Structure 1
Amino acid sequence: MSRETSLFSGRPSDLIGRQVAGYRIEREIGRGGMAVVYRARDLRLERTVALKLLAPELARNDTFRKRFTHESRVAAAIDHPHIVPVFEADETDGLLYIAMRYVAGSDLRHLLDGRGPLPPAAAARIAAQVASALDAAHEHGLVHRDVKPGNILVDRGTDSDHPEHVYLTDFGLTKKSLSLTGFTTVGQFVGTLDYVAPEQISGRPVDGRCDVYGLACVVYETLAGHPPFRRDDDMALLWAHQYDEPPHLTATRTDLPPAVDEVFAQALAKTPDARHATCLTFVAALRAALLGGPPERHPPTEVDRRIAAADEERPKPPPRWAAPVFEPPGGPA
């Protein structure tokens, strides 16, 4: 069992250079309490992948293993430009694993930690791409439940009109699944509490509108430099999500128009029925408040068309432009 211990004890793993289910592990690129992610080489197809190995105790739970397999297959079936493609999800030698496309950029957590609040145009571009991915998942009956900066990957875009390409990851490993394993208990959540919807805390049924709440918390942080609720301990933070009104973003970002406060007040409503019906509807309202509508000087992308459909009645004054968020290692290209 030394291999299991090395995966999750915080010590350097002994898996570097070893083969796991047809993948040769090259280096560790991320870890959490329930999984470690490696860059690995697919020996069958000769390509680089991101290989996520789950905590061994999760594989021992039959209910989790079945749900994990089902939700991973659903995620793999979604063909969307802003969802990280899942190549394979299976079990080997008592370990559950997911092989995904390797994204060479950074994640939004590292970008925010390094750069602080983003320009409005950049925040709106990122929000639109994540919202499109979430709504696509909801159309397939899959609710993410763990929208946070660490699950949003930011790669180099295609041109100056699309300077970032954003991917949403970590489908198939939801808090609902984990709660069935004993891995979580009542009042305890895996990962950060900064983005969790009130209905998740209270154990009520969730749908896509809990992702609207989580996305709103993330987008608030991209603009403010911190999540909407900041408290000294976890219980106080749980209470704030359920009962406290979110602070006005314009108290931190005085350069933003007051209309953004109304948008966030709706997206962060305590009851799902009071929120925007979809993630793209939230982003359409936010982009109208921030920028006056979606950009129109380049051929519209699918994300642009979806936002326009959610906001077709709003006027579209000329957009403002901002520098790209993503820079490759070593500085601007």
Structure 2
Amino acid sequence: MARYQPIHLGAQIADYQVEREIGRGGMSVVYLAKDLRMGRSVALKVLAPERTRSDDFRRRFLHESRVATSIDHPHIVPIFGAGEANGVLYIAMRYVDGPDLGALLDRDGPLPVTGTMRIAAQVASALDAVHEHRLVHGNVKPGNILLATSIVGDDPYYAYLIDFGLAKPPLEAPFTTADELVATVPYLAPEQISGRPVDGRGDLYSLACVVYEALAGGPVFPRDEDVALLLAHQYDSPPELSRRCPELTAAVDSVMAKAMAKSPEDRYGSCREFVAALLSAAGGRVS
């Protein structure tokens, strides 16, 4: 294992020159960088310095690049390159000049119904593609949905699903760190919490939580303590969305209740099936 060299602005990692930090998580740091071969801007994700000595984190970081590269889908952010240089593990991907869904909700509050449905349909399509590759994303949340400015029609955003570090084959429990668990708790499926087998229907549950939050302007289960939130996911029925979003009718409540059923067998069979039912209940459609 090569010795890690601290990264500073202007540093070169493989064919990428670091310009500025644009994001940070429990496992990695993301920089805006210049691709010196192609002359384009990229998002350069590197394993955080404090994680470089952990074989588990190194393995998981490399796993993310392999998974994301293996799935060619218009709503999964493209990977341009990955590897190790000067002891730094990196993934170079398309730079999306826009907020993640979580930042957008923090800034603007609840989104219009039509816009939310379009984002949901795009993410659902990406998740179903993940599941068709016999994988579970395992970390669906607003912060892992990037929103580029769309140039198509009147749709303001184009969604990308990111962060495949927890992707696993179905029936394996995705692993998390304590920091990631805290950030993901509002979207965890009951079976993830209890350590039961997980498949694509766990991602569907998480997507439903994200859609609920986008429309209501707040989480499905607003709780002050993580333990109370975990218990709510396992035992409480989701509050009626129509009460928090008056544009919607009670028909939507039935769809959300099925998508967030405690047992995976009682949910929809795919993420696209869930969004189609949601659109039908809301009396609309997206292209």
TM over 0.5: yes
* 2:250 partner amino acid: P
Cα distance in structure 1, aligned partners of 2:61 and 2:228: 31
Cα distance in structure 1, aligned partners of 2:242 and 2:251: 9
Cα distance in structure 1, aligned partners of 2:183 and 2:89: 19
Instruction: Tell whether the 8 Å contact from 1:75 to 1:172 is kept in structure 2 after alignment.
Output: no
Instruction: Tell whether the 8 Å contact from 2:20 to 2:32 is kept in structure 1 after alignment.
Output: yes
Cα distance in structure 2, aligned partners of 1:68 and 1:190: 20
Report how far residue 69 of structure 1 moved: 2.5
Alignment match of 2:233 (pick from 241, 244, 250): 241
Q: CA, structure 1 residues 36+70, in 2 after alignment: closer, same or farther (shift >3 Å)?
A: closer
Tell me the secondary structure at the aligned position of residue 17 of structure 2.
Answer: strand
Residue in 1 aligned with 2:245?
253
> Is it true that 1:111 corresponds to 2:104 in the alignment?
yes
> Is it true that 1:148 corresponds to 2:141 in the alignment?
yes
Cα distance in structure 1, aligned partners of 2:155 and 2:246: 27
Report how far residue 251 of structure 1 moved: 1.7
Report how far residue 113 of structure 1 moved: 1.2
In the alignment of these two chains, the number of paired residues is 281
> Is it true that 1:278 corresponds to 2:274 in the alignment?
no
Instruction: Tell whether the 8 Å contact from 2:79 to 2:91 is kept in structure 1 after alignment.
Output: yes
Instruction: Tell whether the 8 Å contact from 1:195 to 1:217 is kept in structure 2 after alignment.
Output: yes
Alignment match of 2:75 (pick from 71, 82, 87): 82
Gaps of 5+ in 1: 5-13, 296-303, 305-333
Q: CA, structure 1 residues 208+105, in 2 after alignment: closer, same or farther (shift >3 Å)?
A: same
Q: How does 1:148-187 map to 2 (within 5 A)?
A: 148-174=141-167, 178-179=175-176, 183-184=177-178
Residue in 1 aligned with 2:47?
54
Cα distance in structure 1, aligned partners of 2:174 and 2:50: 13
Cα distance in structure 2, aligned partners of 1:191 and 1:34: 13
Residue in 2 aligned with 1:192?
184
* 2:279 partner amino acid: R
* Normalised TM-score (structure 2): 0.90
Q: CA RMSD in A?
A: 2.3
Cα distance in structure 2, aligned partners of 1:25 and 1:197: 37
Report how far residue 65 of structure 1 moved: 3.2
> Is it true that 1:268 corresponds to 2:225 in the alignment?
no
Tell me the secondary structure at the aligned position of residue 38 of structure 1.
Answer: strand
Cα distance in structure 2, aligned partners of 1:241 and 1:19: 45
Tell me the secondary structure at the aligned position of residue 91 of structure 1.
Answer: strand
Cα distance in structure 2, aligned partners of 1:272 and 1:178: 19
* Normalised TM-score (structure 1): 0.78
CA displacement, residues 139-158 of structure 1 (integer Å, 9 cap, x when unaligned): 11221111111111111212
Instruction: Tell whether the 8 Å contact from 1:151 to 1:169 is kept in structure 2 after alignment.
Output: yes
Report how far residue 40 of structure 1 moved: 0.5
Instruction: Tell whether the 8 Å contact from 2:4 to 2:52 is kept in structure 1 after alignment.
Output: no
* 1:27 partner amino acid: R
Instruction: Tell whether the 8 Å contact from 1:68 to 1:173 is kept in structure 2 after alignment.
Output: no
Cα distance in structure 2, aligned partners of 1:2 and 1:86: 23
Q: How does 1:200-239 map to 2 (within 5 A)?
A: 200-239=192-231
Cα distance in structure 1, aligned partners of 2:67 and 2:46: 19
Of structures 1 and 2, the larger Rg is shown by: 1
Alignment match of 2:62 (pick from 69, 73, 76): 69
Report how far residue 173 of structure 1 moved: 4.4
Tell me the secondary structure at the aligned position of residue 154 of structure 1.
Answer: strand
Cα distance in structure 1, aligned partners of 2:53 and 2:69: 23
CA displacement, residues 162-188 of structure 1 (integer Å, 9 cap, x when unaligned): 432111111134596654xxx449xx8
* 2:24 partner amino acid: R
Tell me the secondary structure at the aligned position of residue 40 of structure 1.
Answer: strand
Cα distance in structure 2, aligned partners of 1:291 and 1:157: 24
Gaps of 5+ in 2: none
Residue in 2 aligned with 1:98?
91
